[in-house]
Amino acid sequence: MYWIYKSIHLCRRFWRQTVIFFSVLGPGIIVMVADNDAGGISTYAVTGSKYGFSLLWMFLLLLPMAYFVQEMTVRLGAVTKRGHAEAIFDGFGPFWGWFSLIDLCITNWLTLVTEYIGMTAAMSLFGVPPWLTCIAVTAVLFAVVLSGKYWTFEKLTLFFCAFNLVYIPAALWAMDTPTAPTWNEVFRGFYAPEFVGGFDMDLIFIIMANIGTTIAPWMLFFQQSAVVDKRLDVHDIRYGKLETLIGSFSTCTVAVFIIIATAAVFFHHKPPIEIEDARQTAEAIVPLLPAGQGEMARKLFAIGLFDAGFLGALCISLSSSWAVGEVFGWAHSLNKKVKDAPWFYLVYLFMLGSSGAVVLIPGAPLITITCFIVLSVKSINSRWIVTQSSSRSAFMTSSQTCWIGASISMLVLTSDTAIDPNALRAARCAPSRRARARSLHRGCGPARRAARSRSGSSAWCCSWGSPPYLSTGPS
């Protein structure tokens, strides 16, 4: 009888934890799947067509990198109840706070332009004119967030995330083509690094583009604000970390299958075919696959490209709205109606409308405009980037934002020490006692430690210049 009761207890416990996990599931999956945006799809397509399976090993390194950066936002949001922008302001002062906010808004706007370019390109394959795509997409994107409930937004977004899996059957069909290699060649790409054409600047650019499109700064701001908006607490951290891990695995899996599809069809074709973006991939794949499968693969690539741009535009715009609302002290929550948080929704609509309007400029050299703005803002003097082929311009923004993502990641790593250790211990993510003591006393002289003691803060190093930022919930 003991084992029967024990089994029933374990089943109930497992069921209870499963229910909790699915209730927490959302921010990590959404942010990681949305990371495969329109620029990312083009990046993976070009990678597969030009280098085959030889760079698949990168994603074994990018998966833990993406996870460890993003899971910190789960802890920061659940413990501090503050968004990433507000945390940077409180922990590092106005200079770095304004720098991160302005940089985020600029890079987000530029990335949104590429998302609209991807969505219009995808719908053009179905004969939809660009102006209709931009207007309809902007209206739908705005309607998704008008419910006044975060849970409604999350369910709708998770539904769109499922369409990201359409590249898996496309890759399976591509591997059935006569010119495609065996699956052993695919697996070899994971454990046998190979540099096709030599280790040159083109290869470095491709690698940096893949890194940049896997780790972007808006992801940090989005997930942490989403965790706060969903009202997760320290007891939900382990579930949030698990779903972030699942999301990281999902985004890398989709990227791998896109590379497999394009490598099998284009790289191993005789002669090899180099494609420039995801739209060209959808068009060029039709005559290379058997009748029926080619047209279906074309539609799947078009649907996947549109869905990637749609999710990217949704999450990137929201990350900007959350960040601006946190900094200016405006109401910034999807749980509030438009009348209660007008500026939050206005920033969201402005980001969408202005970036979509750029695509509708008659005869506008969209690629040239994007590259010029990115180079001007970032002050990057690498002239060879500008002179590259148009295939690279599709993921120019992603390759540049990788540097910003690395900078923001360092801010996250550092700000992790600024959280109340007692709260972190309750969340089961606190560092060791010795490491905590070193972090709290590093750079604090006797006078500062005495001042800290008089102020009643036992867990804050006065060198940070402000008290712990703990609140009860979102604004």
Which CATH number does the domain housing residue 323 bear?
1.20.1740
User: Quick one: pLDDT band at residue 441, thresholds 50, 70, 90?
Assistant: very low
User: Quick one: pLDDT band at residue 315, thresholds 50, 70, 90?
Assistant: very high
Q: What is the mean pLDDT of residues 131-148?
A: 90
Which pTM does this prediction carry? 0.75
Q: What is the DSSP letter of 264?
A: I
- Report yes or no on 471 lying in a domain: no
- Report yes or no on 387 lying in a domain: yes
pLDDT of residue 107: 85
Residues 458 and 395 in one domain: no
Domain containing 342 equals 2-429
The more confident residue out of 178 and 438 is 178
Which strand (E) or helix (H) includes residue 212?
A: helix 201-214
Residues 460 and 356 in one domain: no
Handedness of CA 380, 381, 387, 389 (dihedral sign): negative
Residues 455 and 410 in one domain: no
- Report yes or no on 340 lying in a domain: yes
- Report yes or no on 275 lying in a domain: yes
User: Quick one: pLDDT band at residue 319, thresholds 50, 70, 90?
Assistant: very high
pLDDT of residue 366: 58
User: What phi and psi, each to the nearest 5 degrees, are found at residue 214?
Assistant: -90, -35
Residues 154 and 288 in one domain: yes
Distance CA(281)–CA(265), nearest Å, equals: 10
Helices and strands in the chain, H and E counts: 22, 0
- Report yes or no on 474 lying in a domain: no
Q: What is the mean pLDDT of residues 391-406?
A: 36
Residues 104 and 151 in one domain: yes
334-383 tens-digit pLDDT? 988 888 899 999 999 999 999 888 888 877 665 555 445 444 444 332 33
pLDDT of residue 369: 53
- Report yes or no on 473 lying in a domain: no
Residues 424 and 449 in one domain: no
Helices (H), 35-182: 38-51, 58-80, 84-124, 130-144, 150-161, 167-174
Task: Read off the tokens for 36.
Answer: 């495969």
User: Quick one: pLDDT band at residue 222, thresholds 50, 70, 90?
Assistant: very high
Residues 231 and 211 in one domain: yes
Domain count for the chain:
2
Distance CA(267)–CA(47), nearest Å, equals: 10
Distance CA(230)–CA(473), nearest Å, equals: 10
444-475 tens-digit pLDDT? 433 334 433 433 433 333 333 333 333 334 44
- Report yes or no on 414 lying in a domain: yes
Show Cβ contacts of residue 312 under 8 Å, excluding neighbours closer than 6 positions.
34, 35, 37, 38, 39, 40, 111, 112, 115
pLDDT(13) > 50: yes
Residues 436 and 308 in one domain: no
pLDDT of residue 257: 92
- Report yes or no on 475 lying in a domain: no
Residues 305 and 441 in one domain: no
Would you give the distance in Å from CA 352 to the centre of its chain?
A: 17
Q: What is the mean pLDDT of residues 270-294?
A: 74
Distance CA(429)–CA(146), nearest Å, equals: 35
Helices (H), 285-365: 293-328, 342-359
Distance CA(350)–CA(318), nearest Å, equals: 11
Side chain identity at residue 265, one-letter code = V
Contact in structure between 141 and 34 (CB atoms under 8 Å): no
Query: What average pLDDT does the chain have?
Result: 75
Residues 38 and 89 in one domain: yes
Residues 408 and 282 in one domain: yes
Show Cβ contacts of residue 77 under 8 Å, excluding neighbours closer than 6 positions.
83, 84, 223, 224, 225, 226, 227, 228, 232
User: Quick one: pLDDT band at residue 193, thresholds 50, 70, 90?
Assistant: confident
Residues 38 and 131 in one domain: yes
Q: What is the mean pLDDT of residues 380-394?
A: 29
Pick from 79-88, 293-302, 455-464: least confident? 455-464
Q: What is the mean pLDDT of residues 13-28?
A: 87
Contact in structure between 277 and 394 (CB atoms under 8 Å): yes
3-state secondary structure of 249: helix
Q: How large a percentage of the chain has pLDDT more than 90?
A: 19
First to last CA, the chain: 52
pLDDT(442) > 80: no
